[in-house]
Structure 1
Amino acid sequence: MSRLFTVVALIVSAFCFASVLAAPNDASRKDQIFFVNGQIYCDPCAFQLQSRLSKPLKGVKVTFECTKGEKNVTFVKESTTDKDGFYNIKVHGYHEEEVCMVKPVNTKGTCTTFMENNIIVPTKMEGVVRVVRVVKPLAFGTKTIDEECYKLANELGLDKIDDN
């Protein structure tokens, strides 16, 4: 019985030692690369969800920013949406101890009112490590509600449209 215990203890020790060797070190953390992908669209109905009346926004500036603490910015990378409203930001480094956000800014056209807060991007290496982090679609709204939206709201069974 003690021989079995010794063998099990050696195997467990070997696994523990191997996991320490496999843990990312500071050098590999700096070399880590992941991508943040998302889409930005215009919501002329203020539904805060994509509908058939939504249009992708081309040329929107998107900033990926990581901070440690209140104001200590540790990483900033910008991108711009393509004709289909998609962006792809290549992020270097290991940002597990930081808060990282996507911040879109649109100053062109009629769709310039951002409809949500900045989106926090998960950067912790928990479970399966993914190279691509997909962010939910982000919407900008118009100052006035498109007339077609009232018809669509009725079709979708929505009670009302918030037309501020």
Structure 2
Amino acid sequence: MAKAISLIVSALCILAIADFAHAHEEYHVQGQIYCDTCRVQFATRIADPIEGAAVRLECRKRDGSENVTYSVEGLTDADGLYHLPVEGEHENEICEVILVKSPREDCSEQMDDFNRARVVCSSNSGIDNAGQVRYANALGFMIKEALPGCKQVLDELGFFPLHE
């Protein structure tokens, strides 16, 4: 009987240690913010990275509530890249990188459907050895008027105008 109790106590201690280590996970979310110089709502070869753009990572419970359980903000570097530290395990949450603000007056309009990117901040991601870095899809702000070179860029991509 004493051996059984000892085994149970040992098992509980191991589970507690594993849970403690799991709860102190740290991830790093990375992504890029760009200026959509053609107003097509995706990055082209003439899109510009935006330095100093503000982004925020928010995590919310999956129950449909809007209560934010975790939030961290950051700024992009000269290449438009951001690196956000994420503390803890967010397996049962929806985490998204959200555009906050562009430092460029000429490129500050947010895209309608592409102003946020979901990212998994959990070790239970379904990917073996996913590591601690999570990559978010690139997000962008739009310029007020498309640059003159956009027609050539879109022709190269195989886009055809609907009306001439």
State the TM-score, normalizing by the size of structure 1.
Answer: 0.77
Which residue of structure 2 lines up, in the alignment, with residue 83 of structure 1? 78
Tell whether the 8 Å contact from 1:81 to 1:87 is kept in structure 2 after alignment: yes
Percentage identity across paired residues of the two chains:
34
- Between Structure 1 and Structure 2, the one with more helix by share is 1
Tell whether the 8 Å contact from 2:32 to 2:139 is kept in structure 1 after alignment: yes
Structure 2 residue matching 1:111: 3-state secondary structure: coil
Give 1:137 shift: 1.2
State the TM-score, normalizing by the size of structure 2.
Answer: 0.77
Which residue of structure 1 lines up, in the alignment, with residue 88 of structure 2? 93
Which residue of structure 2 lines up, in the alignment, with residue 48 of structure 1? 41
Q: How many residues align?
A: 142
| Structure whose CA Rg is larger | 1
Q: Which amino acid aligns with 2:120?
A: P
Distance 1:119 1:24 in 2: 30
Tell whether the 8 Å contact from 1:153 to 1:160 is kept in structure 2 after alignment: no
Taking structure 1 as reference, are residues 107 and 84 closer, same or farther at Cα in structure 2, changes over 3 Å only? closer
| RMSD, aligned CA | 2.2
Distance 1:152 1:134 in 2: 27
* Among 59, 63, 69, the residue aligned to 1:66: 59
Q: Which runs of 5+ in 2 are unaligned?
A: 1-10
Q: Which runs of 5+ in 1 are unaligned?
A: 1-16
